[in-house]
Structure 1
Amino acid sequence: MPGLDRITSDPSVMYGQPCIRGMRVTVRRVLEALATYSDRQELSAEYPELEDEDVRQALAYAAANLDDKVLELRGA
């Protein structure tokens, strides 16, 4: 994906899951950490190897891979 140069996928690293800069930190792990830690300082303390651009690209990657389907609600 253009503009997501920090997101890598290598079958020999974390079974090919999308990772940050070839490290063993998956995009999913970054998203889970963002949901868990109340602020970026806590996140940085737990994952000091992550840079702000890593987090930004993980969010962008996740958003780009979600499907925007419109579902009709019955009886609404």
Structure 2
Amino acid sequence: MKLDRIIVNPKRMNGQPCIRNLRITVRRLMELLAIYSDRAELYQEFPELEEEDIRQALIFVSSYLDDRIIQLPSIYETAA
């Protein structure tokens, strides 16, 4: 799997994974996807983004989470 749009440069954005050479981190892109439910609106606000940027960022994030177990509260614990 080739993620050629995810770039890590220690001299840019504190070494956080970024989209291409943009000043948009993968983390920020995930936040933007949560905020903008309409991709057309996202592309209007951030015309430099491309569909392949989003696809690769989602693959990157999902592969990172693949090895982590995150404890979530049970719905039965929070209902009380």
* TM-score computed with the length of structure 2 as normaliser: 0.80
Quote how far apart the aligned CAs of 1:22 are. 1.9
Gaps of 5+ in 2: 72-80
What SS does the aligned partner of 2:23 have?
A: coil
Tell me the distance in 1 between the aligned counterparts of 2:63 and 2:21: 20
User: Quick one: percent identity of the two aligned structures?
Assistant: 56
Structure that is richer in helix per residue? 2
Gaps of 5+ in 1: 72-76
Relative to structure 1, the CA distance from residue 43 to residue 70 in structure 2 (aligned partners, 3 Å threshold; closer, same or farther) is closer
RMSD of Structure 2 on Structure 1 (CA)? 1.9
Give 1:2-41 correspondences, 5 Å limit: 2-41=1-40
**Residues 9-49 of structure 1, C-alpha deviation per residue, up to 9 Å, x if partnerless?**
00111010000112111001110000001110011011110
Matched with 2:61 is 62
**Residues 45-64 of structure 1, C-alpha deviation per residue, up to 9 Å, x if partnerless?**
11110000000001000001
How many residue pairs get aligned? The number is 72
* TM-score computed with the length of structure 1 as normaliser: 0.84
Tell me the distance in 2 between the aligned counterparts of 1:68 and 1:44: 31
Residue identity opposite 1:47 in structure 2: F
